[in-house]
Amino acid sequence: MSQEELINTISERAGISKQTVRDILHAFADVWTEEILTHGELTLDNIGDFLVEHRPGRKGVNTETREIFTIPPKDYLSFTPSQDLINWSNKPS
Amino acid sequence: MNREELLKRCVDRRVAHETSVVAVSHLFYVYLLSALKKGQRVEVPNFGTFGTRVVGAKRQRRMPYFEVEEELANKVNERYRNLKTILIGRYEMIPVEGEVEYSGKEPRYDRIVEEVGEPVLVDTDRDITPEEYRREVAELRPKAPETEAAAPPGEVTPPERPLEVPEPESDQPPKERELMPKEGFDLREKPTEEPTQPVESREPMPTLREISGGEGMSPLMQILIGIIILGVITVALNEFGFIHLWGKFFARKVPQVTETLPAPPVQAPPAKDEGAMREEKKAEPTPTPPPPKESATSEAKTPEVKTPEPRAEIAKAPSGTGKFTVQVSSWTSTADADRAVSKWKQAGFDAYVVEAFVNGRTWYRVRVGRYATMDEARRAAEHIRGVQQDGVWVTRFE
């Protein structure tokens, strides 16, 4: 379900204009992004946990060219689905 | 963050009315859960994409995942965003006698390190700037005393290059290739030196244009010109009568007699003329259209009557301004048609010839008069049937 499909579906179901739905979803994303960048973590009820984690730099090797190089460190966003969401996804319909 | 807090912060931003925010939030959760249950992906604008993938070998199950959007990933990785991969050395495979089996746990190059020195990882537990990172990497870079002697004096710099640099497999030893001098090294700088490739590989492959003789036409143009030439040949063959696909563009000349005659009155001939006609009819034992009945009747019975008029029909001697006319006979030769026209004209009718192309043959239709309405034309046709019974019908003047 792409962005437009999600917006169209919610707009038709709720009777709200597409632009309003788009603005509200963007506001959701802004709030979540702000929470992640501020606290480094975000927990959505029944969905899962987002956590900013650190991956240290390391040494890498290209076995084809036989080159040794450094891979820089990185901060990335990890997602751990909640157990409820896992159970829901595997629940037979 | 629970749902109430999310709604509160969104309402504080005054994006929309609280009712709309609550409704959208509820529907978003509903559609997200239903889509994940169906195994579909849900793309959240400016945030990322939720989805499920099947995991597990023995007991397969769906595991939800989240793909972060690039913009958010860059924001999260703001501290190390400018750091790039840097080449610090090379290694060579050194065969080891005896225990050569690869356990799969340790990197294989550890046993065969060559002139790389002791690789040390970058300390990344603290905030690091690109300059610090570059300095640390420069310290990590192995010293190559052998290559210093081979390099030109004053240009010995560590081999720093991003990994995007293509490294050609040339005959030179790897030590010399590592010694590419470079000043003012920058992590973001793109390599400027061209990879040294064998001369043979640089020869360009001959293109189709060169093979076909330099400035050749494209295949599309050749096909287009071929179609045009074929069309011209077809038109010429049709025009000269070798094939009959449609009427001729250039009309043949009809005998001058039909063109130069003045237009008689459009109305049907008077009773006086009708009496004269009957007298002539009695005097002449044969009817006015003398041609063999085959041609007249067969043409009248041919599908020409039912089929629409051919498009290439050339009026030879139109007269008057009416839209309807009466056709009395049709001939395949101009001589017969002219003969019929002259007879009809002697009888006082405004006859003329129209050329038509039907079913691959050219017909010369003899028609009489021009009438403004269909009723007039029918009355005239009834009058003409007093002279000639068959092959008379009303048609539209063209």
Residue type, B70: E
Per-residue model confidence as pLDDT tens digits over B219-270: 899 999 999 999 999 888 888 877 777 766 665 544 444 433 344 444 444 4
- pLDDT confidence bin for B322, thresholds 50/70/90: confident
- Please classify residue B368 by burial: count the beta carbons closer than 10 Å to its beta carbon, then call 0-12 exposed, 13-18 middle and 19+ buried: buried
Please tell me the predicted confidence (pLDDT) of residue B209. 53
Please tell me the predicted confidence (pLDDT) of residue A36. 92
Closest of B35, B33, B156, B144 to residue B88, by C-alpha: B144
Residue type, B242: F
Alpha helices in A1-93 (DSSP H): 3-14, 18-39, 83-89
Cβ–Cβ below 8 Å for B29 and A76? no
| Residue of A22, A85, A88 to mutate when probing chain B, most B C-beta within 10 A | A85
ipTM score of the complex?
A: 0.91
Per-residue model confidence as pLDDT tens digits over A30-62: 999 999 999 999 998 889 999 999 988 888 888
Residue numbers in B near A81 (CB within 8 A):
63-66
Q: Which residues contact B260 (CB under 8 A, 6 or more apart)?
A: none
A51 part of contact set with chain B, CB < 8 Å: no
Closest of B191, B229, B241, B9 to residue B86, by C-alpha: B191
- Please classify residue B37 by burial: count the beta carbons closer than 10 Å to its beta carbon, then call 0-12 exposed, 13-18 middle and 19+ buried: middle
Please tell me the predicted confidence (pLDDT) of residue B74. 92
Tokens of A92: 């037979």
A38 part of contact set with chain B, CB < 8 Å: no
Residue numbers in A near B20 (CB within 8 A):
14, 16, 20, 24
Nearest CA in chain B to A28: B10
- pLDDT confidence bin for B136, thresholds 50/70/90: confident
Q: What angle do CA B313, B314, B316 make, to 5 degrees?
A: 140
Cβ neighbours of B334 (radius 10 Å): 19
Residue numbers in A near B170 (CB within 8 A):
none
Please answer whether residues B289 and B342 qualify as being in contact, where contact means their C-beta atoms are separated by less than 8 angstroms: no
Cβ neighbours of B259 (radius 10 Å): 14
A6 part of contact set with chain B, CB < 8 Å: yes
Residue numbers in B near A13 (CB within 8 A):
27
Please tell me the predicted confidence (pLDDT) of residue B64. 93
CA A63 to CA B57: how far, in whole Å?
A: 29
- Mapped onto helix, strand or coil, the DSSP state of residue B130 is helix
Please, what's the b/e burial string for B223-245 (b: 16 or more CB within 10 A of its CB; e: otherwise)? eeeeeeeeeeeeeeebeeeeeee
Which residue is listed with tokens 């249950």?
Answer: B37
Residue numbers in B near A32 (CB within 8 A):
1, 6, 47
Q: What is the DSSP letter of A45?
A: T
CB contacts < 8 A (A, B): 206
Q: What angle do CA B203, B208, B210 make, to 5 degrees?
A: 65
Cβ–Cβ below 8 Å for A16 and B93? no
Residue numbers in B near A59 (CB within 8 A):
88, 119, 121
The reply to whether the predicted model has a pTM over 0.80 is no
* B146 Cα to chain A: minimum distance (Å): 19
Tokens of B39: 């195994």
- pLDDT confidence bin for B48, thresholds 50/70/90: very high
In B12-72, at which residue ranges do the beta strands (DSSP E only) sit? 42-44, 48-55, 61-68
Give the side-chain half-sphere CA count within 13 A for A36. Answer: 27
Please answer whether residues B325 and B266 qualify as being in contact, where contact means their C-beta atoms are separated by less than 8 angstroms: no
Q: Which residues contact B234 (CB under 8 A, 6 or more apart)?
A: B243, B245
Residue numbers in B near A1 (CB within 8 A):
31, 35, 40-43
Cβ–Cβ below 8 Å for A65 and B29? no
Restricting to A residues 61-90, those with a Cβ less than 8 Å away from any Cβ of B are 61-63, 65-77, 79, 81, 85-86, 88-90
Tokens of B345: 């004209």
CA B5 to CA B21: how far, in whole Å?
A: 12
Nearest CA in chain B to A3: B43
Cβ–Cβ below 8 Å for B62 and A16? no
Distances (CA, A) of B183 to A70, B180, B189, B192, B194: 21, 10, 11, 11, 16
- Mapped onto helix, strand or coil, the DSSP state of residue B148 is helix
Q: Which of A22, A47, A85 sits opposite B45 (nearest CB)?
A: A22
Residue numbers in B near A25 (CB within 8 A):
24, 28, 44-45
Q: Which of B45, B64, B86 sits opposite A70 (nearest CB)?
A: B86
CA B19 to CA B216: how far, in whole Å?
A: 70
Nearest CA in chain B to A40: B76
Residue B52 has phi, psi (to 5 degrees) of -130, 150
- pLDDT confidence bin for B49, thresholds 50/70/90: very high
Residue B181 has phi, psi (to 5 degrees) of -70, 140
Between B283 and B396, residue with greater pLDDT? B396
